[in-house]
Amino acid sequence: MKKFFALFAALLMAATALSARDKVYRNTSVLPEAARQVIAAAFPKTGVSHVKVDERTFGGNEYEVIFTDGSEIEFNSKGEWTDVDGGVREVPSYFVLKPIAKYIKTNFKGAKIFKIEKDRNEYDVELSNGKELKFDRAGNFLRLDD
């Protein structure tokens, strides 16, 4: 009986590991419609290099789009953006709430937003000067993490 459970556990772990592989596509047709709309609005002139699809074993896929200019965006299974990384470029203003943009313009003159991430409760913002800031979902400044 112990051998059976050990074998079952090993097979389950192997199946999970195999199913966790990303699949790579060359166009955005594999993305949810909401994600395609975000890309069209925020990156209208930027070409897509490829799309990685992380097929989750117990629920929806996650998507990562890599653009030809080196920037990246991640989406959840519903097509909602969760992370935008401009690389060495500024993140499009499409992703930045007005209160966040105003706070950065007022308190960090000349700094650009190179990365923004949102989760259920807050936004994490990385600036060109290396500073990391946290804001609540309404765009109110919470703290500086540098």
- pLDDT one-digit tens code per residue, 27-60: 899 999 999 999 999 999 999 999 999 987 777 8
- pLDDT one-digit tens code per residue, 83-92: 999 998 999 9
- The pLDDT of 114-135, averaged and rounded, is 96
> Could you say which DSSP state residue 134 is in?
E
Number of H helices, E strands in the chain: 3, 9
Residues 6+ apart with CB under 8 A from 103: 133, 135, 139, 141
State residue 105's pLDDT score.
96
User: For residue 7, what pLDDT band results from cuts at 50, 70 and 90?
Assistant: very low
- The pLDDT of 140-145, averaged and rounded, is 94
Domain 96-146 in the same topology as domain 1-80:
yes
- The domain locations on the chain are 1-80, 96-146
State residue 3's pLDDT score.
55
Q: Select 96-146's CATH number: 3.90.800.10, 3.30.230.10, 3.40.1420.30, 3.40.50.300.
A: 3.40.1420.30
Helix spans in the chain (H): 2-19, 33-42, 98-107
Q: Select 1-80's CATH number: 3.40.1420.30, 3.40.47.10, 3.30.465.10, 3.30.310.50.
A: 3.40.1420.30
